[in-house]
Structure 1
């Protein structure tokens, strides 16, 4: 039995890799094509997340009234996140804003994974998510900060003009900032602004991950679904991104005019 474990892990890694490549290809194609294709892609993923949310709520929450409130919260939460994705990918912008958000969240996940695996250390909330460590959170902050700093430098050097479609102008349209919602405090050094935003994104992303882990633990399941081989369900893949999009939407909606 012990000899079979490495082979099984290798097989799981292969499945996860193939699934990840397919997911990236589908999502990247939809993002590139935009328009109805992007709307359909976001709609399918959102419906998948809501379906898994309802299943988890049914198993985790007692009482029809409480489950109803939980499902209503899910519709609002997922709906705002989906609306934000559609808002970021529209003809008024280049690819800069939406790619900045998506790549920053990916930077959080990658940084947290490698820092957590390499450094280990104290757990943040072992009763909810035993694998999450403080070193992983710091790695997530670093990953997000580097992505944001790279995006800002590319924008300043004019190296992202290839991503601009038609007359898109992120300067005046993208929340009054370039390349996206940060870089508004011009007296603050660039890296410090990226660091502050990186902390925000990393904490939000980890909070979204913890929320889903809490819900799954209450429901007594390991994954939110089994639609994506080796990766679980839709909710498992976008838990951190949803939290970031949700709070970003409120920051934009209530920013000073």
Structure 2
């Protein structure tokens, strides 16, 4: 005679995820708002943590010391370039990059769950769909449009008169260009996400680390921001910003 036993119920980590998420947001907002040495220390601490977690992934990917060295040199350039992009950019562009990546992730999450459909690269990231990418592009484009409109409104008052909506000259080509920039940022952020997912697949791990309760590691949290911030650094270095 056998006795049926109920399978143990997996405890939800939603509360832990929410609490740690709030702490992360508060720390990031405080550092970004204070700027200066505080922001420098915060960004460098994040990048050092990312590189530490990346080293753990590299050990699972590359067998030889030479290959590991090449990996870490490339990842160090990647991380420090992203850090430079954030630190050297004007505060408004720094916020724009971060909020655009958040909008990309949010749009991708909700549209992916609501629509579903074909996967982009199921062997690398089974949850990523083309519908999710489309939603992420819409989210980032909306952020870019709001930012550009707000900037245009503020600039309309530089002639000594109060800012006015009537003084904003909005054209279809300009609108399409802003939407295109937002869509490109979303694609770049998703590419960073895929790159980190590919590294984890190669290393045979689920998360890059366990530093953040319920969220994994630092690399997991900033994978989409890294390429966007790196691009900011390239544009700054080239004198485009």
TM range (shorter): 0.7 to 0.9
In 1: Cα distance, 2:216 partner to 2:14 partner: 13
Q: Which runs of 5+ in 1 are unaligned?
A: 162-185
The 5-angstrom pairing of residues 5-24 of structure 1 reads 5=10, 8=11, 11-24=12-25
Q: 1:195 aligned to 179, 183, 203, which one?
A: 179
The 5-angstrom pairing of residues 115-130 of structure 1 reads 115-130=111-126
- For the pair 1:153 / 2:149, whether they are aligned, the reply is yes
- For the pair 1:137 / 2:127, whether they are aligned, the reply is no
Question: How much does 1:252 deviate?
Answer: 3.9
Q: Which has the greater radius of gyration?
A: 2
- For the pair 1:241 / 2:225, whether they are aligned, the reply is yes
Question: How much does 1:99 deviate?
Answer: 1.1
- For the pair 1:223 / 2:207, whether they are aligned, the reply is yes
* Contact kept in structure 2, 1:78 and 1:242, CA below 8 Å: yes
TM-score by length of 2: 0.87
Assess, with a 3 A threshold, how the Cα gap between structure 1 residues 2 and 198 changes in structure 2: closer, same or farther.
farther
Deviations 1:203-255 (A, max 9, x none): 11111001100100111100000000011000000001001112332244346
In 2: Cα distance, 1:120 partner to 1:193 partner: 28
In 1: Cα distance, 2:174 partner to 2:222 partner: 28
> After alignment, is 123-132 or 240-249 more displaced?
240-249
Match of 2:77 in 1: 76
Match of 1:85 in 2: 86
In 2: Cα distance, 1:12 partner to 1:50 partner: 26
Deviations 1:94-147 (A, max 9, x none): x32111111011110000000111100000000000000000000000000001
- SS of 1:224's partner is coil
Question: How much does 1:189 deviate?
Answer: 3.0
- SS of 1:128's partner is coil
Assess, with a 3 A threshold, how the Cα gap between structure 1 residues 154 and 187 changes in structure 2: closer, same or farther.
closer
Question: How much does 1:194 deviate?
Answer: 1.9
Question: How much does 1:190 deviate?
Answer: 3.4
* Contact kept in structure 2, 1:52 and 1:235, CA below 8 Å: yes
